[in-house]
Structure 1
Amino acid sequence: MQRYFVEPEQLNEEGVVLTGDDAHHAVRVMRMESGDEFIVSDGQTRAALAVIRGVTAGRVEAGIQTWLPMSGEPLWSVTIAQSLPKGDKMELVIQKGTEIGAVAFVPFESDRMIVQYDGKKEAKRLERWRKIAKEAAEQAHRSRIPAVEPVMTWRKLMSSIAMYDLVLFCYEKEGGAGGAGLRDAILAYRERSGLTQIDNKELKVLLIVGPEGGFTEREAAEAEAAGAVIVGLGKRILRTETAAMVGLACIMYESGEMGGV
């Protein structure tokens, strides 16, 4: 069933009103009409099954049929910090990362990034990224839209590490024989914290992924000094957008998101 996210003030006991792109999508793309149902959420505390009462130009009015639980969110809150990749790769990271379960995305600048960051285009690009996150969250039936933060400097990213329970820094030099893997880091964290797979709990995790050229040794050293755990993602060299998805999927599996915990 189609899901839409709206601003909190649009959703109340009386019903909900879709406007703008959402109304256009409902009427022109989904061909909805009076009597049709859809799921609506304010992305914060409320979700409901709504039934359409009436459709006019650029406006869909619906009543609340029943309130729904806010489900669809993983127990571990994983933020992907992605060094700015070239082309539309950031859009892919946001779209697929939202589907898999990331709660936020932090694009940042690093030494070897290929793309030339243009602050003048920041607002327009950020708007597009957030729209992609919204559409992906609707498609995946998420309860919340992941946050997409403005581009961050390396220094600011390093200073934010203390906000998380576990920070995983993906570094290709850890992928060879004897290197520490992502799963090793999670298991070590469980042991340190006394967290078993049966007795799970909410965690704030930051996954840091480098650009096409990878991280420098200086960046790896600074990240480790700030509290990050240096990890590899296997023996193969992954594209930057692939690394983000593989790392996130592995974290979701280890958290019990895929079952078995």
Structure 2
Amino acid sequence: MPISPNQGSTGGGTIVTITGTNLGGATAVHFGTKTATITANTPTSVTVVSPSGSGTVPVTVTTPGGTSNPLSFYYVGAPFKSSISPVSGVTAGGNTVTINGTGLTTATAVHFGAATATPTVVNDGQLTVAVPAGTGPGPVSVSVTTAGGTNNGLSYTYVDAPTVTTLNPNSGPASGGTVVTITGTNLSSTQSVLFGATPAPFTVLSDTTISVVTPPTPDGAPGPATVTVTTTGGVATADFTYLAGPGI
């Protein structure tokens, strides 16, 4: 006589189907000492709503012909989430976040606002999930659904990808030291600015402006360099030209 699912929330409310033979006319289904609500009954199945409970309890079906052998049902507590990392990412989604907590073994869904993603359970204390696309920039609540219920309490922030519209100036000596103003959009969360492969010191002035000092070229030679601005929302690029110094 199978039972499906064989686990559910300690708060009750899980819809459980018990299958077997001679189950017609069921008068009671017990989860331990508690009685479940019968919602459907045929000669081969009984569907009930589980009562609240804890631990592992025997489930029996009583009909006019007697009481069945017991099956085990496992009560699962609601999940507890302690942290999410990273806490922000691109509005387009697709990046992977890690959620830590307890009671995560039976996680079936992670909700980012109104969007839902299917997680990968690492262990009872950790899961990973690919972030679904957001409807726009800004924070959303994050909740995890398990057999024990749904728990909220975490937040994730969607960030639009950056753009770079101008570099002023867009050229300077190969020895570096040029102060360049980068203008664009969504620049407030800038994490790095590279000239080619070389990091440059920068200061975020606003969401649309960064001030940066060009590093010298690795070999001291002039030439073009791709400027790469990386934010929590993604990457934007522009072109800068290193100039040869004068000679006499």
TM-score computed with the length of structure 2 as normaliser = 0.25
Richer in strand (by share): 2
Richer in helix (by share): 1
TM-score computed with the length of structure 1 as normaliser = 0.24
- Bigger relative contact order, structure 1 or 2 (CA pairs below 8 A, ≥6 apart): 1
